[in-house]
């Protein structure tokens, strides 16, 4: 008796998910495996991947272009949330997982499948993100995770596949584990497992080494309307197009590399390398525009919301009531976040050097130290008397005690 009759498997074309196909059929007793590969702007040959799944025994092989959805529904809210896990990682992998979960659930419902499957191991965050998201979207579906159970090394997995007639390209296998979409690349394992080892240049694909970057800085102007990126250097573009072009521009200046030790949800600390040139520049620009257009209290309160939001997305709770509540807060703050931010890209740094907005709360007449100053300096005296009153009373009390 099988655990499921018909399964939709998240498919990448890699060794693990390919081996999952015969494994689900022969070890789990699944009758039909339908694979689903998502195009998330990773620039892979998805036709080849589609064919590979059929060769490996899939009954049907689906390819879904979801790049625009990734950008519009997952990246834009994250930019508005200035989402950086542990203050650094812009969640480029984490944002794609709830979307893939949604694609799996939609496909399962359309094909009348009783389960979905993924190739995640038991050590990472991604298994949590898939399982929790799938459970939130359709609690009636079973989730199968063969790689979490099979306990095979990579060599053993290849040998297992070969038993069922699969062949694997004999390219020198990379020691790294890499996840890639339009938002960024995540690289781990191999020599990176020693946190003292500097990452070799070979791990990077979206960003240039500083030695190879131009000697002259390059300026970009990013326009936002209500917190959504809408233009690049004065040209109106979709967010997808802005991300694509900005990845190239910022990447050639070596902008967007992160090397960090991060805390996984499963309790392990891991060493991660990320490249996310456009996403990091957009978040920095957006946050800067907020400092120009939001009141002090909203800006400062939102920082705490952003922290919670980032942790929650990292921890797989994209489809959860708290996430929806935080979204509502963030959405409410964005109406006035319109304007243009000027960024200087040079030798690995992206510096905000200018910002302007018709909604700016900044007033030069109030801020200036020049002769046009409108600020009433005498009003400060009474304000300080009241503001400092509690600490003066406290200090006098303390002195009496001594």
Closest CA to 28 of 41, 19, 40, 37: 19
Rounded Cα distance between 102 and 109, Å, is 11
Rounded Cα distance between 388 and 177, Å, is 56
Q: Determine if 69 is a binding residue for ligand ARG (CB under 6 A).
A: no
Rounded Cα distance between 360 and 303, Å, is 19
Given the residues 6, 50, 97, 257, the one annotated as active site: 97
User: Could you confirm whether 126 is annotated as catalytic?
Assistant: yes
**In the set 131, 179, 275, 290, which binds ligand ARG (CB under 6 A)?**
179
Query: Least separation, in Å, of the C-beta of 178 and ligand ARG?
Result: 6
User: Could you confirm whether 129 is annotated as catalytic?
Assistant: no
Of the candidate spans 159-167, 175-183, 192-200, 208-216, the one that interacts with ligand ARG by CB under 6 A turns out to be: 175-183
Pairing relation of β-strands 184-188 and 349-356? unpaired
Pairing relation of β-strands 142-144 and 115-117? parallel
Query: Least separation, in Å, of the C-beta of 16 and ligand ARG?
Result: 10
Given the residues 6, 12, 16, 131, the one annotated as active site: 16
Q: Determine if 272 is a binding residue for ligand ARG (CB under 6 A).
A: yes
Closest CA to 182 of 129, 243, 130: 243
Rounded Cα distance between 85 and 306, Å, is 9
Q: Determine if 18 is a binding residue for ligand ARG (CB under 6 A).
A: no
Tell me which H or E stretch contains 325: helix 321-333
| Secondary structure class of 187 (helix, strand, coil) | strand
Given the residues 177, 231, 308, 320, the one annotated as active site: 177
**In the set 61, 93, 181, 310, which binds ligand ARG (CB under 6 A)?**
93
**Subset of 182-221 contacting ligand ARG (CB under 6 A):** 186, 188
Instruction: Give the C-alpha distances (Å, rounded to integers) separating 279 from 182, 225, 334.
Output: 9, 17, 18
Q: What are the tokens at 363?
A: 């007033």
Rounded Cα distance between 198 and 210, Å, is 14
User: Could you confirm whether 39 is annotated as catalytic?
Assistant: no
Q: Tell me the site size for ligand ARG, rule CB under 6 A.
A: 9
Of the candidate spans 164-172, 173-181, 339-347, 350-358, the one that interacts with ligand ARG by CB under 6 A turns out to be: 173-181
Query: Least separation, in Å, of the C-beta of 227 and ligand ARG?
Result: 24
Of the candidate spans 176-184, 244-252, 292-300, 365-373, the one that interacts with ligand ARG by CB under 6 A turns out to be: 176-184
Q: Determine if 177 is a binding residue for ligand ARG (CB under 6 A).
A: yes
Q: Determine if 127 is a binding residue for ligand ARG (CB under 6 A).
A: no
Pairing relation of β-strands 60-65 and 235-236? unpaired
Choose between 177 and 320: whose C-beta lies nearer to ligand ARG: 177
How far, rounded to the nearest angstrom, does the alpha carbon of residue 227 sit from its chain's CA centroid?
17
| Secondary structure class of 158 (helix, strand, coil) | helix
Rounded Cα distance between 41 and 206, Å, is 13
Query: Least separation, in Å, of the C-beta of 75 and ligand ARG?
Result: 14
Q: Determine if 42 is a binding residue for ligand ARG (CB under 6 A).
A: no
| Secondary structure class of 251 (helix, strand, coil) | helix
**Subset of 94-123 contacting ligand ARG (CB under 6 A):** 94
Q: Determine if 125 is a binding residue for ligand ARG (CB under 6 A).
A: yes
Choose between 17 and 336: whose C-beta lies nearer to ligand ARG: 17
What are the phi and psi torsion angles at 48 (to 5°)? -65, -40
**Subset of 329-388 contacting ligand ARG (CB under 6 A):** none
Can you say whether the dihedral through the CA atoms of 308, 312, 313, 319 is positive or negative? Answer: negative
Choose between 93 and 338: whose C-beta lies nearer to ligand ARG: 93
Q: Which positions touch ligand ARG (CB under 6 A)? A: 93-94, 125, 177-179, 186, 188, 272
Q: Which residues are catalytic?
A: 16, 97, 126, 177
């Amino acid at each position: 008796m099988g655990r499921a009759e018909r399964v939709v498997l998240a498919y990448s074309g890699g060794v693990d998910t390919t081996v999952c196909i015969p494994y689900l059929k022969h070890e789990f007793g699944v009758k039909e495996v339908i694979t689903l590969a998502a195009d998330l702007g990773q620039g892979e040959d998805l036709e080849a991947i589609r064919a590979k799944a059929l060769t490996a025994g899939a009954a049907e092989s689906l390819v879904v272009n979801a790049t625009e959805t990734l950008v519009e529904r997952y990246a834009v809210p994250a930019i508005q949330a200035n989402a950086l896990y542990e203050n650094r990682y812009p969640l480029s992998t984490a944002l794609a997982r709830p979307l893939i979960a949604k694609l799996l659930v939609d496909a399962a419902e359309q094909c009348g499948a009783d389960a979905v499957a993924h190739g995640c191991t038991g050590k990472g965050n991604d298994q949590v993100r898939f399982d929790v998201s799938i459970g939130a979207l359709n609690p009636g579906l079973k989730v199968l995770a063969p790689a979490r159970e099979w306990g095979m090394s990579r060599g053993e997995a290849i040998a297992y596949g070969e038993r069922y007639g699969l062949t694997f390209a004999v390219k020198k296998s990379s020691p790294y584990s890499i996840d890639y979409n339009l938002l960024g690349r995540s690289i781990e394992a191999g020599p990176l497992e020693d946190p003292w080892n500097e990452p070799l240049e070979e791990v990077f694909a979206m960003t240039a080494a500083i030695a190879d970057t131009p000697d002259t800085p390059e300026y970009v102007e990013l326009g936002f309307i209500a917190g959504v990126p809408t233009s690049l250097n004065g040209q109106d573009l979709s967010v997808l197009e802005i991300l694509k072009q900005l990845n190239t521009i910022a990447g050639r200046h070596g902008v967007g590399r992160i090397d960090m030790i991060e805390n996984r949800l499963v309790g392990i600390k891991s060493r991660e390398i990320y490249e996310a040139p456009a996403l990091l520049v957009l978040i920095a620009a957006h946050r800067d525009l907020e400092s120009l257009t939001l009141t002090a209290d909203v800006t400062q309160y939102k920082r705490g919301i952003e922290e919670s939001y980032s942790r929650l997305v990292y921890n797989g709770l994209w489809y959860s009531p708290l996430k929806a509540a935080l979204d509502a807060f963030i959405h409410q703050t964005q109406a006035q976040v319109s304007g243009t931010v000027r960024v200087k890209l040079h030798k690995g740094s992206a510096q905000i050097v200018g910002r302007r907005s018709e909604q700016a709360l900044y007033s030069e007449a109030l801020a200036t130290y020049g002769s046009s100053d409108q600020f009433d300096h005498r009003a400060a005296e009474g304000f300080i008397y009241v503001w400092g009153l509690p600490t003066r009373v406290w200090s006098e009390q303390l002195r009496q005690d001594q």
